[in-house]
Amino acid sequence: MQALPLRLAPGEDLRTALEAACGGQAAFVLQGIGSLSRVRLRYAGRAEAVELNGDLEILTLAGTVAEQGVHLHISVSDADGRVLGGHLMAGSIVRTTAEVLLARLPGHRFTREHDAATGYPELQISSR
């Protein structure tokens, strides 16, 4: 496992930056904190994302990065302390900073393949 700590700057797209940092390598996002000015979340069981704007704090960020994309969950709080969470979607913009710890796994390959039991493309793990 290779630890890769990141600090993202204001204006960066959080999801896109994490995908780019991994460069198609198998990785886990172990944790993330920081702030967003906009977050796009897809709630469980919903097809469309919702967008929240304002001063948002990242409370948790975790997930996997595979060759075909990411599966990231995030929870954020707004300026009144309300907490919302879901799947992190592209278009979620860093406000002041995002500090993220990635764990790259060079001995593994992550792909996503259709799973008949769930109906979704699910993580498949293999050794390189």
pTM, rounded to two decimals: 0.92
Q: Is the pLDDT of residue 128 over 90?
A: no
DSSP 48-112: S-EEEEEEEEEEEEEEEEETTEEEEEEEEE-TT--EEEEEE-TT-EEEEEEEEEEEE-TTEEEEE
The pLDDT of residue 24: 84
Q: What percentage of the chain carries pLDDT values higher than 90?
A: 90
As a whole number, mean pLDDT of residues 99-111 equals: 95
69 pLDDT band, cuts 50/70/90, is confident
According to CATH, the topology of domain 2-127 is 60s Ribosomal Protein L30; Chain: A; (3.30.1330)
